[in-house]
Structure 1
Amino acid sequence: MSGQMYNLIMASVPSLYSGDQGEFSIPKDRFLEYTEASIKGQFQSLDQDAINKLKNLPTMFAVEDEVADARIGKITDIKVNSNNLRIKYRFDKDYYPLTRGLLKEKQQKLDIDDFEFHRGHWAVKKCDISEFYGEYLKSLAGIAHKLKNTDKKVQLIYAFNGTGKTRLSRAFKELIAPKEDGLGDLDGAEQAPLSRHRILYYNAFTEDLFYWDNDLDADAEPKLKIQPNTFTDWILQEQGQDMNVISTFQRYANDKLTPRFNPQYTAKDKDGKDVTVKAFSEVTFSHQGGDDEPDRKIKISKGEESNFIWSIFYSLLEQVISILNVPEDAGRETDQFNQLQYVFIDDPVSSLDDNHLIELAVDLARLIKSSDFAISGLKFIITTHNPLFYNVLHNEFNRAPKFVLRKLDDGKHDLIEQENDSPFSYHLHLKNELMKAADSGDIHKYHFNFLRNVLEKTSTFLGYEEWGELLPGVKGNRATGQVNPYARVINLYNHAKHAGHEVAEVEEDHKRVFKFLVKEIDNIYKGMRTQQGTQA
């Protein structure tokens, strides 16, 4: 453990946090509790020399049971009375608050005993606070604080699948609207009133609001059910935006595929009793035909379902921006969004082809640009794993800060800001990831997806019709009509269920194929650079 010392003050009440500075009392007999004997001797006299030493130490201020975030700062004055110590403090604004639960998680490193969390006291510990805080900034909670601590309207983040984008959105939501506040969101069945929301976000958990009715008779219609929540109730029932949702969905999916929301009706439950099914709680889908035959209800694909859910969110976002662009609160049609501060959007582009993906990106950028930041102060954070989606938004938001979220080898994370004057060279970023995986031998199924992506981009650049033409031995295989064995391996990990299991084991033979192909790609890139240098 580091020899650096710091103060740990565990207050008994959260009123300590009434501002960035203040004062409070602590019983004198609780001073230096849970402090090593060798340290006590330096401070227990509480003479002026000891007080000056205490004031010079970095101090962590916490509340019993971590019912509030901990803060880092300094003690500015200490008054010694017969029974208590009167302490003046100031929080350091250069340090973000430490998310509640973090001290418990890191208690061994911070030398905090279990019982200390439940007792107001003042201890002096051995730990390098600067080192500890630097590690915190590498956590998703620390990165969430960094994103929050900006005055920019839009922030754009690129990250590979499995890096932690969705967990980052959850950490950010917990920072803006902690569960203890009773604030609802888009991933729970029971929602709090919309007027209490400070963040609106879309991520993988949003889809949990929607589920298929699988308990069907042979001739029953498949239905996508919507769990009770204030968001869809407001946008569909109160605002009547169902037609807008339908048109948005058809624009990104298929203009012949038609969703229909249910009216209120009475049905029988499993016990044969009548139950009322609320309007706009179910959706059926059918292909529009050209004859008089009734539409046959179908179960849509997972990708189409994701597009449908995004269409509801997009329609909600359109309404929210329109409402918040009204300057005066009294002039708005509802006050339910007056406290909204952030919109966090994580990867709304699953299963879209390139044309629809570009269309969605442009539409989203147009909508965000229409939000009047001077009036609403509404901020947007967008994360994606899709390079094309990232690049379109990069060009649309040319002055917005842009980042790459990376997961480090030790499980921590890093948020790297990108240059704003040029698009993100994602193919080179992918190539670097491939080289790193090949060198370390830590190869997962998703790396084959990266490999195919790089081959596709490279083949397009070099003028080939298919990416497989870059693979060794392809001519001989084409002459004999055989499938190239290298292409077969790549496709194995890009199709069906294989691509989804990102951390599943890869066969040793396939790892050797991967390393060989990465080396071949590196040779192709070296050749391209040599050719460009010769031409220059």
Structure 2
Amino acid sequence: MSADFTSLDTLATHLRTELETKKFILLYAYNGTGKTRLSMAFKDIGKQGDTRDTLYFNAFTEDLFTWDNDLAGDSTRVLKMNAASCFFAGLEALEMESRIRPFLHRYVDFDFSIDYAQWTIRFSRDVLVGESTQTIDSIKVSRGEENLFIWCFFLAIVQLAMDGAEAYQWVKYIYIDDPISSLDEHNAIAVGNHLAQFLKRKDHSIKAVISSHHTLFFNVLWNELKEIDKSRKQFAPHFLSHSKKTGEYHLSYSGDTPFFHHLTLLQEIWRAKEAGKIYTHHFNALRSLLEKSSIFHGHKKFTVCIKHQEDDPDETLYSRLVNILSHGNYSFYDPVEMLPENKAHFEKILADFLEFYPFNPELTPESQEQETP
């Protein structure tokens, strides 16, 4: 199942329509595809005057928090909140510190305090000095720690919305775009798992869209949501891509297996081969596919995935071809068609690879020959 959309607005409208029968939509897309702009288009559809229906987390959410590093005194560093945003509506009465801490302490070892009069947040950390513990106040946390704090702040608000808090009764949808841009793989797994626990709740009617470019995070969520909705009636995972040539957005259903980057690479390469539109930059994609496959099998070199040929006793010809042709300065945005000889080498390496590693044939369907009248 797949569909094309001429704009992000039409795609956002489609997602809202899909949520009439689904509870979760999970999107994977590369950076630069338009994930953040899509989240804003989705939000804007539900914003009519002063009314709104989408609580969202994206780069704009992170921008609601800015640092005052006290350049003059270099001592009182605080994270400032944008008091004008409805994101922070009624926070003082909601005891946010006690709501955020249980989430935050899953990931980090620092503490914080909120000054509601000044709309600032101070961070502190206990450190061991000799045999005693001292609290260091007004510290500057790392970018990853800051992102985790903002994420936990958001989760606390999501919890309020799910609990039916008056300040957030307007929330009909939650849209989350790339919450883990600065996290390591351990935290990517932890955040994905923790988010899934939230989504398991059945005592509310809020629906969710989650988009990410992070393969591991996507797969963690895919597996978690699959367990929540074993019938797959409420869960829709998709791969989102954007054509630079036509400007269209392509949404394809990711099927019954979680998305893996190398599978999409394989499909893109195969479609190019079947269409006879193999360009020089496809050697970069082919090498990436070989590297990911070799790593998966525990090898150090991608050359183990290249079939040895009788006319290549030193087993170097095709390895050198891939190595040399994948290091050219080939632009994806200004494609150059391969020379016929290189195209033949490319197709042979790909065919041998697929023969040696039996991928699901549904990923590489043969093109249908047109019947002659």
Same fold (TM over 0.5): yes
Structure 1's 141 and 471: CA in aligned 2 closer, same or farther, altered over 3 A?
Answer: same
Q: 1:207 to 1:470 in 2, by over 3 A?
A: same
Deviation string for 1:205-224 (max 9, x for gaps)?
11111111145224323222
2:239/2:253 contact within 8 Å kept: yes
> 1:320 Cα deviation (Å)?
1.5
Alignment match of 2:87 (pick from 227, 231, 236): 231
Partner letter of residue 181 of structure 2? S
Q: Which has the higher contact order (CA 8 A, sep 6+)?
A: 2
Give the equivalent residue in structure 2 for 1:142: 10
Write the letter of the residue equivalent to 2:120: S
Where does residue 529 of structure 1 map in the other structure? 354
**1:260 and 2:105 equivalent?**
no
Partner Cα separation in structure 1 for residue 33 and residue 45 of structure 2: 20
- Return the letter of the residue paired with 2:236: P
Aligned to 2:264, which of 418, 429, 440? Answer: 429
Shift of residue 396, structure 1, vs aligned partner: 1.9
CA shift for structure 1 position 246: 3.4
SS of the residue corresponding to residue 197 of structure 2 reads helix
Please give the secondary structure, in 1, of the residue aligned with 2:166: coil
Task: Establish whether residue 378 from structure 1 lines up as the match of residue 197 from structure 2.
Answer: no
What pairs with 1:90-109 in structure 2 (closer than 5 Å)?
A: none
CA distance in structure 2 between the partners assigned to 1:354 and 1:162 by the alignment: 21
After superposition, give the CA deviation of every residue in 1:353-412 in whole Å (9 maximum; x if it has no partner). Answer: 22221121111111111043xxx4321111111111111222222221111111012222
Which residue matches 2:28? 158
Query: How far does residue 232 in structure 1 lie from its aligned partner after superposition?
Result: 3.2
- What residue in structure 2 maps to residue 404 of structure 1? 239
Match of 1:347 among 169, 174, 178: 178
Shift, 1:471, TM fit: 6.8
Q: For each residue in 1:124-179, what CA deviation from the matched residue of structure 2 results, as whole angstroms up to 9, or x when unmatched? A: xxxxxxxxxx98x421111111111122111111111000000101111111114x
Structure 1 distance, partners of 2:247, 2:124, is 43
Residues 353 and 197 (structure 1), Cα distance of their counterparts in 2 relative to 1, 3 Å cut: same
Q: Which amino acid aligns with 2:12?
A: A
The one of 264, 282, 297 aligned to 2:121: 282
**Residue deviations 1:272-317 (CA, integer Å, cap 9, x gap):** xxxxxx1552333446335344516432332222221111001111
- Relative to structure 1, is the Cα distance of residues 336 and 293 closer, same or farther in structure 2, using a 3 angstrom cutoff? closer
Give, as a single letter, the amino acid of the residue that structure 2 aligns with 1:216.
L
Aligned equivalent of 2:139: 298
Partner residue in 1 for 2:250:
414
Helix, strand or coil: the match of 1:370? coil
Q: Could you say what the CA RMSD is over the residues aligned between the two structures, in angstroms?
A: 3.8
Q: Sort the Cα spacing of 1:528 and 1:346 in 2 relative to 1 into closer, same or farther, 3 A.
A: same
Q: Supply the AA of the counterpart residue of 1:289.
A: L
Question: CA 1:456–1:363 in 2, change beyond 3 Å: closer, same or farther?
Answer: farther
Match of 1:314 in 2: 155
Q: Find out whether 1:219 has 2:71 as its counterpart.
A: no
Q: Which runs of 5+ in 1 are unaligned?
A: 1-133, 183-195, 265-277, 324-333, 473-485, 491-507
> Residue 502 of structure 1 corresponds to which residue in structure 2?
none
Q: Which residue of 2 aligns with 1:394?
A: 222
Which of structures 1 and 2 has the bigger CA Rg? 1
Query: Which residue of 2 is the match for residue 461 of structure 1?
Result: 296
CA–CA distance in 1 between the matches of 2:286 and 2:158? Answer: 36
SS at match of 1:217: coil
Inter-partner Cα distance in structure 1 for 2:143 and 2:346: 33
Distance in structure 1 (CA, Å) of the matches to 2:269 and 2:135: 52
CA offset at residue 238 of structure 1? Answer: 1.8
Corresponding residue SS for 2:189: helix
Give the aligned length. Answer: 311
Match of 1:355, as an amino acid? Answer: H
Q: Deviations over 1:295-351 (max 9, x none)?
A: 16432332222221111001111222122xxxxxxxxxx433333211111111112
What is the distance in 2 between the residues matched to 1:203 and 1:263?
A: 24
Q: 1:354 to 1:159 in 2, by over 3 A?
A: same
Within 2, Cα distance between the matches of 1:520 and 1:357? 39
Query: 1:522 offset after TM fit, Å?
Result: 8.5
**Inter-CA distance 527–233: structure 2 relative to 1 (3 Å threshold):** same
Overall identity of the aligned pairs, in %: 31
Contact 2:122 2:139 in 1 (8 A): no
| Contact 2:126–2:134 under 8 Å retained in 1 | no
Q: Which residue of 1 aligns with 2:55?
A: 200
The CA deviation at 1:231 is 3.0
Question: Residue type matched to 1:310 in 2?
Answer: W
Report if the CA contact (8 A) 1:403-1:418 is conserved: yes
User: TM-score normalised to the size of structure 1?
Assistant: 0.51
AA aligned opposite 2:180 = V
Residue 497 of structure 1 corresponds to none
The CA distance in 2 between the partners of 1:212 and 1:527, in whole Å, is 55
Q: Distance in 1 between matches of 2:14 and 2:278?
A: 32
Distance in 2, matches of 1:298 and 1:524, equals 55
Superposed, which structure 2 residues align to 1:459-498 within 5 Å? Answer: 459-464=294-299, 469-470=301-302
- Whole-angstrom CA distance in 2 between matches of 1:395 and 1:530: 29
* Closer, same or farther: CA 222–521 of 1 in aligned 2, 3 Å: farther
Q: 1:300 to 1:415 in 2, by over 3 A?
A: same
> Residue 453 of structure 1: CA displacement?
7.3
TM superposition shift of 1:530: 2.8
Output the amino acid matched with 2:259. Answer: F
Task: State whether residues 261 and 283 of structure 1, in contact with CA within 8 Å, keep that contact through their aligned partners in structure 2.
Answer: yes
| Contact 2:58/2:178 (8 A) holds in 1 | yes
Quick one: distance in 1 between partners of 2:190 and 2:183? 10
2:82·2:119 contact (CA, 8 Å) conserved in 1? no
Distance 2:74 2:90 in 1: 32
The offset of 1:241, in angstroms, is 2.7
CA distance in 1: counterparts of 2:355 and 2:287, whole angstroms: 23
User: 1: distance between equivalents of 2:174 and 2:346?
Assistant: 39
Instruction: Report if the CA contact (8 A) 2:175-2:209 is conserved.
Output: yes
